[in-house]
């Protein structure tokens, strides 16, 4: 099966292209994130040498030719020109950074943030309805739960940011023709640490195939799919923020995610109810 993102967007004459979502993701990263400027030179040197040495070893071991070297050079130039560095890094590198960062946490598992987070989504209280379009397609989903500390203490007024793709696999602010805050919101837990979020189930997501990342995938004979997922950031004063994703059982790509970001603890257990699905998932935060 193949869903062509560009072909499935009837909502707008504009089409979702890798270059457009790449440019948006690059712009967001540049404006929202700070690069660590205080890394000491010894550490920069150690890390840079080790990465370069892995490249040198690969070239020697596999007798990489000048044609292959030039193909790599052209490809790297293209990654930059299409703004796909955030996509490339978040798909093929971030999961290991997250693994190391989360190693000593006891609470809820995290996973990669990906390129499509936008801060300051509308505040929707503790019983939230995420913004949708009239006639938003998909299965209605009630996602509810409680935020607690590792010792079980409920965390009142914890802040849950949620964002996810629509039933075509598109994210607002990165694909054209979708209202700014569609399927994005900031939810705050009540006095018992509880929350309720009404939304529409997302679809499996295909990373853009018409740009540099897509070229790599087709040249290598890989596939571009991520399983359907909800993205979340959960924060409370005095606790470590968790950035995570939650997945749905039975998705063909839960075992085979292009971004390697699925963990067994992150697969939800939704129940069919009248008019849609309902699922409970509790978050546990470690002390800061
Ligand atoms: C990408 C997209 C996602 O929605 C995600 O969660 C991770 C990576 C990407 O296109 O790079
Ligand atoms: Fe995503």
Ligand 1: centre distance to CA 231 (Å): 10
Best residue among 91, 170, 258 to mutate for probing ligand 1, ranked by most atoms within 8 Å of CB: 91
Q: Judge if the beta carbon of residue 247 lies within 6 A of ligand 1.
A: no
The reported pTM is: 0.89
Say if ligand 1 is within 6 A of residue 258 CB: no
pLDDT at 35 > cutoff 50 = yes
**pLDDT tens, position by position, 71-101:** 999 999 999 999 999 999 999 999 999 999 9
Ligand nearest to the CA of 92: 1
Q: Are 87 and 28 in contact (CB under 8 A)?
A: no
* Neighbouring C-alpha atoms within 13 Å toward the C-beta of 225: 16
| 88 close to 115: Cβ distance less than 8 angstroms | no
Using one digit for the tens of pLDDT, what is the confidence trace for 221-268? 999 999 999 999 999 999 999 999 999 999 999 999 999 999 999 999
- What's the burial of 257, exposed, middle or buried (CB within 10 Å: 0-12/13-18/19+)? buried
Residue 259 in contact with ligand 1 by CB distance below 6 A: yes
Q: Is 200 helix (H, G, I), strand (E, B) or coil?
A: strand
Question: Which pair of structure tokens corresponds to residue 118?
Answer: 């936008």
Give the whole-angstrom CA distance, residue 18 versus residue 210: 6
Give distance in angstroms: CA of 258 to centre of ligand 1: 9
Distance 114 CA to ligand 1 centre (A): 5
Range name among 61-65, 138-142, 208-212, 230-234 with the lowest pLDDT average? 208-212
How far apart CA 247 and CA 197 sit, in angstroms, is: 16
């Amino acid at each position: 099966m193949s869903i062509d993102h560009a072909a499935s967007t009837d909502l707008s004459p504009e089409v979702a292209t890798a270059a457009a979502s790449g440019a948006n993701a690059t712009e967001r990263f540049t404006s929202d994130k700070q690069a660590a400027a205080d890394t000491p030179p010894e550490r920069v040197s150690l890390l840079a040498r080790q990465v370069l040495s892995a490249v040198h070893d690969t070239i020697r071991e596999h007798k990489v030719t000048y044609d292959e070297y030039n193909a790599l050079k052209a490809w790297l130039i293209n990654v930059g020109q299409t703004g796909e560095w955030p996509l490339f890094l978040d798909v093929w590198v971030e999961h290991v950074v997250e693994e190391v960062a989360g190693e000593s946490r006891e609470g809820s598992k995290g996973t990669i943030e990906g390129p499509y987070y936008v801060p300051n989504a509308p505040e929707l209280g503790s019983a939230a309805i995420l913004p949708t379009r009239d006639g938003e397609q998909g299965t209605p989903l009630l996602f509810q739960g409680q935020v607690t500390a590792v010792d079980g203490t409920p965390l009142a007024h914890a802040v849950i940011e949620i964002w996810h793709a629509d039933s075509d696999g598109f994210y607002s602010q990165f694909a054209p023709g979708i209202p700014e805050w569609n399927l994005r919101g900031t939810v705050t837990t009540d006095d018992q640490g509880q929350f309720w979020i009404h939304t529409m189930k997302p679809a499996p997501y295909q990373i853009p195939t018409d740009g540099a990342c897509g070229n790599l995938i087709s040249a290598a004979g890989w596939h571009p799919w991520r399983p359907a997922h909800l993205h979340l950031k959960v924060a409370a004063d005095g606790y470590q923020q968790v950035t995570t994703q939650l997945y749905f059982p039975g998705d063909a790509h839960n075992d085979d995610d292009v971004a390697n970001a699925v963990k067994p603890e992150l697969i939800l257990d939704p129940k069919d109810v009248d008019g849609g699905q309902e699922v409970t998932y509790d978050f546990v935060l470690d002390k800061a």
